[in-house]
Homo-oligomer: A and B are copies of this chain.
Amino acid sequence: MPQTHRKRRPEARPDEILDAALAVFTEQGFAQARVEDIAKRAGLSKGAVYLYFPSKDAMLSALVEQSAGKLARAAEQLVAIGAPQDPETALRSLVKMLMTAMADPDISAAPRLVLTEAGRSPEIAAHYRSQVLDIARRAMSALLEAGVEAGRFRRVDTDALMRLMGGPCMAHMVLTTIFDLQPQDISDPADMAGAICDLVLYGLVPREKAA
């Protein structure tokens, strides 16, 4: 048997397995994904996977843990830098970033898994909630406060604003990845982000006719 010299790299294994797991979970969904397929893709046998993870569920948890917060922290940083100078531009950048991220299957893979699997696993839900939703909420709250302070924003409800910005991004993800709408059927994420920010910033009712 020709020696595949790809052995003895225990340090790198966990990440390799998680990469493979993300790919297979994304392609097949968690329940349909077979551990053996994950192992194959990582260049291992099934048994070896169990040297690094105690169960299939643990792989999902680790995956969520790894990717959860990455995006939220990026958003947090973007707000921290941009909001004090120009809250409006910061808001636009934030939505554009989020929308673009959700349109990218690689980036949205983990949130998508959470969406479909969190109902089955309360601990994943709780983890995601604290690691992502809470961070995002803090960032949005800070952004809004900066805008209000600067007299650029009305003092509105943080949660309403958060859902108004986050909801459409989630919708974009659902439409493209779950309902499988193709790019030609759906607006470019950056354009959509722009249109949504325009609407939220300036309102549906014309300015000259404000009630």
> Among residues 152 to 211 in chain A, which have CB atoms less than 8 Å away from a CB atom of chain B?
152-154, 156-157, 159-161, 163-164, 166-172, 174, 177-181, 186-187, 192, 195-196, 198-207, 209-211
CA distance A205 to B151 in the complex (A): 9
- Could you say which of A7-15, A43-51, A62-70, A111-119 contacts chain B? A111-119
B163 touches A192 (CB 8 A): yes
Smallest CB–CB gap between A43 and chain B, Å?
A: 27
Main secondary structure, interface of A, reads helix
- What band does the interface of chain A fall in when counting residues whose beta carbon is under 8 Å from B? 35 or more
Interface residues of A in 58-100 (CB under 8 A from B): 88, 91
Establish whether residues A157 and B205, one from each chain, have CB atoms under 8 Å apart when the complex forms.
no
Task: Please tell me if the beta carbons of A115 and B118 are within 8 angstroms of each other in the complex.
Answer: no
Closest beta carbon of chain B to A121's beta carbon, Å: 10
Is A31 interfacial (CB 8 A cutoff)?
yes
- Whole-angstrom CA separation of A204 from B152 in the bound complex: 8
Using Cβ atoms and an 8 Å threshold, which residues of chain B touch A180? 122, 125
> Shortest CB–CB separation between residue A23 and chain B, in angstroms?
15
Q: Report A27-41 CB contacts with B as 1/0, cut-off 8 Å.
A: 001011000000000
Task: Contacts A160-B196, A192-B160 given; indicate if A153 touches B122 (C-beta within 8 A).
Answer: no
Taking Cβ atoms with an 8 Å cutoff, the residues of A that contact B are 29, 31-32, 88, 91, 112, 115-116, 118-120, 122, 125, 128-129, 133, 147, 151-154, 156-157, 159-161, 163-164, 166-172, 174, 177-181, 186-187, 192, 195-196, 198-207, 209-211
